[in-house]
Copies of this chain bind each other. A is one copy, B any other.
Amino acid sequence: MATLGDIGLAAAINSLITFVFLFAFTILRLQPFNDRVYFPKWYIKGVRSSPTSSGSFVHRFVNLDIRSYMKFLRWIPSALKMPEPELIEHAGLDSAVYLRIYLLGLKIFTPISMLAFAVLVPVNWTNDTLLLESLKSSNLEFSTIDKLSISNIPTGSNKFWAHLVMAYTFTFWTCYVLYKEYEIIACMRLHFLASEKRRPDQFTVLVRNVPPDPDESTYELVEHFFLVNHPDHFLTHQVVYDANKLSKMVEKKKNMQNWLDYYKLKYERNSSTRPICKIGFFGLCGKKVDAIEYFTSEIDKLSKEEVTERERIKRDPKSIMPAAFVSFRTRWGAAVCAQTQQTRNPTLWLTEWSPEPRDVYWQNLAIPFVHLTVRRLIITVAFFFLTFFFMIPIAFVQSLANIEGIEEAVPILKPFIEVPFIKSFIQGFLPGIALKIFLIFLPMILMIMAKFEGFVSLSSLDRRAATKYYIFLIWNVFLGSIIAGTAFQQLDTFIHQSVNEFPRTIGIAIPQKATFFITYVMVDGWAGVAMEILRLKPLIVYHLKNMFLVKTEKDREEAMDPGSIEFAAYEPKLQLYFLLGLVYAVVTPFLLPYIMIYFGLAYLVFRHQIINVYNQQYESAAAFWPNVHGRITVAMLISQVVLLGLLSTKRAANSTPFLIALPILTIWFWSICKNRFESAFRKNPLQEAMMKDTLEHIKEPNLDLKAYLLHAYIHPIFKKLNDYENVADLDEIDHENVLVPTKRTSRKTTPVPSKHTFSPPPSLIDFCEEDKL
């Protein structure tokens, strides 16, 4: 076991790494040529233009102003300065609420750790159990951290009452904070939804599984059905086309266009030889052809195919999916339709509140409803195997990727690999690499699974993938670190253990693993967050694109990748810290400060990123909060069960039975919160809808809602293709549709201020000016 010194050293190393990352960031962000990597949000909002427009050649790329280096920490107060309402206006409610998760961590753990250090640490410290045990058996070592933990209390001591009381106090505090937070966020959500402008999804309901009719087309069928069953409220509707094939074509064409641009640029720079490429597998093999000619002809071919395909979609009745976006005259009508069952067969004419247009995941609208049950079963089984048996294929890959294998495949490398130092390095490195790659790709795999399950909005896909990732992390990281061995071995252990052995096995191991988790928090938490702010991948990709593809300012804008909060990957990871904090709060309070530092640092970093970098794909108005709340409650439950197991091994017979009420009360708390708040995130109250309707009717009695809703739910691929024909009116629609205006052309490309120009509030402008120094 690690001593306090070891931990100190690890902390020092990790802090150093973290600071190196942060320092690199502070330097890189000041360089003008990185401007689009570190401030894309402002470009998208149109309040910042490329620095290339002014100054000398050097100034355009490197910042030589010494003063700005002096103030290299200015980004921290800048990140904290923007008040929350402005943040919501600037980046949307999702981002603002996401930040509150980190704040919630601080709110929960600050009083808990103060109390734990004031009460539990002295109680634990004033015992000699570990000292006596180590005297008895010489091979038992213990560290200062263990002296601070519950391990140091003698078996059967009455001092466990202190831990019991603390467990209750911590649970009540956590519940209190969670309840308050749920209340605040439900309120924020309702306020946000109430204060937002008119949006198409307020009036629209997504209808799925429209039954086929031999006499009518889907379009007519939908119209007739709603005219009959919602006669006073039905307004208009749009059927859904299966444009998946067309999307792929457009995607392919865009890719070809990129290659064409690259070769053209190459040819421009060196006009002596015409560029040549291979047309085989990924351009690696096959016949050599003239690249420019080849791609030009390919693009022509694709363009023609595209036109044919578009015509086919518009004409072929088979390309109309049994789904439609149905719009109503009033919000009340839409709210009613979304919440009720339409026909006696509950699998037909399924209505649900429509996601906002940019949140729709169009590919999945084409899935027939009957497939969904089968798909869900397949994914459940697949996820089970992924969680418990993911080590098997990795072990297989590892067995293939050994040094002999490499030497055989690429004989040239043989003398190089045989150098002892390199050989040992590879041997140490290779086995881990397959696992690392798997873990990096895991969120992507889970997202593919969620997509396969057939969810129709990006936000629900994110939530679903996050839930799966959380289960994976709990089982493979949390339990996997406690009980050594693969997940399947753990499963086997659990199956062969009795029910009340579960918590004991974990309970005994928990205090011993404190130092491991402290290191984990530092490596994965601290350094991970610092990596996030550095944006290494977008930095490299942007500069590569800039070098090979960018010709015009528009290209540069496209090369910019603002990214977004990857909810499905980040949220489960941060939930792990809640779990660790709650589990160790009573057992080894020494872990808490590390977690608090993580939450503080992450809050700072993500606030900066949300303000300056991320551009959210959709706005779900914090629809993810019930999941976040539920997972923290699960973490509480796990911590209570673990403590129960731990105390039962310590023979604290007097106090242990009193712990049993704790999980019951926690489950009850969860159900209260669910009853009280969850429907604010799932349903749409009629009163609110009626209020907005009435207000709108008074304000704009002559509003032409039908025209407003006409093109709202057109497949984005049609919008993109139409873009070249009649940009003006589509642009109009686009602006109206987005919840928080995020996408507009930069000043450079639209020098004349459009009528929609967004004039940022003074504080925003100050903030930007300061940053650009």
Contacts and interface: CB of A to CB of B under 8 A. Distances in A.
Most chain B beta carbons < 10 A, residue from A190, A341, A347, A680: A341
A633 to B, nearest CB: 16
A686 interface: yes
30 contacts: A228-B687, A228-B690, A229-B686, A339-B339, A339-B341, A340-B686, A341-B684, A342-B685, A342-B686, A343-B685, A343-B686, A343-B687, A343-B688, A344-B680, A344-B685, A344-B687, A344-B688, A346-B676, A346-B678, A346-B680, A346-B685, A495-B498, A495-B500, A496-B498, A496-B499, A496-B500, A497-B498, A497-B499, A498-B501, A499-B499
A671 interface: yes
A229 B687 contact: yes
A342 B373 contact: no
A232 to B, nearest CB: 7
Interface string A704-737: 0000000000000000000000000000000000
A335 B230 CA distance: 12
A683 B341 contact: yes
A424 interface: no
A759 interface: no
A273 interface: no
Contacts of A373: 668, 671-672, 675
Contacts of A88: none
A679 interface: yes
**Is chain A's interface secondary structure helix, strand, loop, or mixed overall?**
helix
Most chain B beta carbons < 10 A, residue from A339, A340, A497: A340
Given A381-B664, A690-B229, A339 B340 contact: yes
Interface in A206-262: 228-230, 232
A721 to B, nearest CB: 37
Contact of A346 (B343, B679, B688): B679
Contacts of A680: 344, 346
Contact of A668 (B377, B501, B668, B675): B377
Contact of A686 (B341, B498, B668): B341
A336 interface: yes
A494 interface: yes
Nearest to A384: B664
Contacts of A342: 685-687
A506 to B, nearest CB: 15
Given A336-B336, A494-B499, 20 more contacts: A230-B686, A232-B232, A335-B340, A339-B339, A340-B683, A341-B684, A341-B685, A342-B687, A343-B685, A343-B686, A346-B675, A346-B676, A346-B678, A346-B680, A347-B676, A349-B687, A373-B671, A377-B668, A496-B500, A498-B501
Nearest to A346: B679
Contacts of A340: 335-336, 339-340, 683, 685-686
A377 B672 CA distance: 10
A333 to B, nearest CB: 10
Nearest to A338: B340
Nearest to A674: B346
Contacts of A688: 343-344
Interface in A152-203: 190
Contact of A495 (B230, B339, B499): B499
Interface string A290-311: 0000000000000000000000
Nearest 5 CB-CB pairs, A to B?
A346-B679, A341-B683, A339-B340, A343-B687, A495-B500
A690 B337 CA distance: 13
Contact of A344 (B190, B668, B672, B675): B190
A229 B330 CA distance: 12
A760 to B, nearest CB: 31
Contacts of A686: 229-230, 340-343
Given A498-B495, A498-B498, A346 B668 contact: no
Contacts of A685: 340-344, 346
A192 to B, nearest CB: 12
Nearest to A502: B499
A694 to B, nearest CB: 9
Contacts of A228: 687, 690
A329 to B, nearest CB: 12
A675 B343 contact: no
A677 to B, nearest CB: 8
Most chain B beta carbons < 10 A, residue from A335, A498, A680: A498
A278 to B, nearest CB: 48
Contacts of A676: 346-347
A341 B499 contact: no
Nearest to A687: B343
Interface string A369-397: 00001000100010000000000000000
Contacts of A679: 341, 346
Nearest to A665: B377
A495 B494 CA distance: 13
A350 to B, nearest CB: 10
A206 to B, nearest CB: 17
A683 B494 CA distance: 41
Contacts of A678: 346
Nearest to A679: B346
Contacts of A668: 373, 377
A343 B685 CA distance: 5
A657 to B, nearest CB: 14
A481 to B, nearest CB: 22
Interface in A648-674: 664, 668, 671-672
Nearest to A339: B340
Contacts of A344: 190, 680, 685, 687-688
Contacts of A229: 686-687, 690
A497 B496 CA distance: 9
A194 to B, nearest CB: 9
Nearest to A189: B344
A347 B676 CA distance: 6
